[in-house]
């Protein structure tokens, strides 16, 4: 509308894709924006020779279409920039990010965003730490049971040795088995002590985290 002459005039609205390189900014693609009421008006479309395959698309949809077309053609670029008209549309930003593209978008100053609580995030981490410690404790208990079994086996072999010392082949085999068992038990005990120290340290770290979160 021309407010001076009070005459209705024709105009066109387009969406353009610009390419910035140094101090140059050429336009590399464009789409004509057809308002929804025009797109759904058969008479207008016929009078203006609008092709049948043209359907209504928002400006953001047209912009994304051009951006993906540029990516498909192999146009090199590091990031995408846009004003708040496009930046305030989360679906568009999600689509751009899903294509592996980096964007810099203006957003209105009154935009409300949801921020996860630091305490909630840390609480989840604490729960995971607890589960991990439980698993570690279970592993240690299994190690202790194994060591006890090997110790008992070692004692049984010692008794068997004393009762069968007159049989030289069995004596040699028994000594060999006893030696191997002692070595296995010693290694398992060392592993048990190492894991005990690690779990103790993890518990200390976990208590510090809890103190910071819930203080």
Residue-range domain boundaries for the chain: 13-105, 118-214
Task: Write the CA distances from 36 to 39, 42, 59, 210, integer angstroms.
Answer: 5, 12, 11, 56
The pLDDT of residue 134 is 74
The pLDDT of residue 140 is 67
Q: What's the CA gap between 99 and 208, in Å, rounded?
A: 40
The pLDDT of residue 119 is 55
Six token digits for residue 44? 């207008």
Question: At 78, is the secondary structure helix, strand, or coil?
Answer: coil
Q: 166 or 90: which carries more pLDDT confidence? A: 90
The pLDDT of residue 185 is 67
Q: What is the DSSP letter of 26?
A: -
Would strands 103-105 and 80-82 be described as parallel, antiparallel, or unpaired?
A: parallel
The pLDDT of residue 2 is 39
* Other CB atoms within 10 A of residue 181 CB: 19
**What is the average per-residue pLDDT within 24-28?**
90
| pLDDT tens-digit map of 170-195 | 444 555 555 666 677 677 777 767 77
């Amino acid at each position: 509308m021309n407010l001076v002459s009070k005459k209705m005039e024709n105009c066109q609205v387009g969406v353009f894709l610009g390419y910035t390189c140094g101090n140059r900014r050429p336009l590399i693609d464009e789409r004509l924006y057809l308002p929804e009421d025009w797109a759904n008006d058969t008479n207008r479309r016929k009078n203006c020779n609008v092709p049948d395959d043209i359907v209504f698309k928002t400006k953001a949809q047209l912009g994304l279409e051009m951006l993906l077309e540029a990516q498909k053609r192999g146009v090199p670029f590091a990031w995408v920039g846009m004003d708040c008209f496009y930046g305030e549309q989360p679906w568009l930003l999600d689509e751009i990010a899903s294509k592996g593209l980096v964007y810099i978008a203006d957003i209105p100053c009154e935009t409300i965003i949801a921020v996860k609580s630091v305490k909630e995030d840390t609480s989840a981490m604490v729960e995971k730490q607890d589960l991990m410690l439980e698993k570690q404790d279970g592993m240690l208990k299994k190690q202790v049971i194994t060591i006890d079994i090997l110790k008992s086996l070692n004692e049984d072999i010692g008794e068997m040795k004393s009762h069968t010392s007159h049989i030289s082949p069995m004596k040699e085999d028994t000594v060999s088995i006893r030696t191997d068992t002692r070595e296995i038990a010693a290694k398992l005990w060392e592993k048990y002590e190492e894991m005990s120290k690690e779990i103790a340290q993890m518990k200390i770290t976990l208590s510090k985290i809890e103190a910071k979160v819930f203080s």
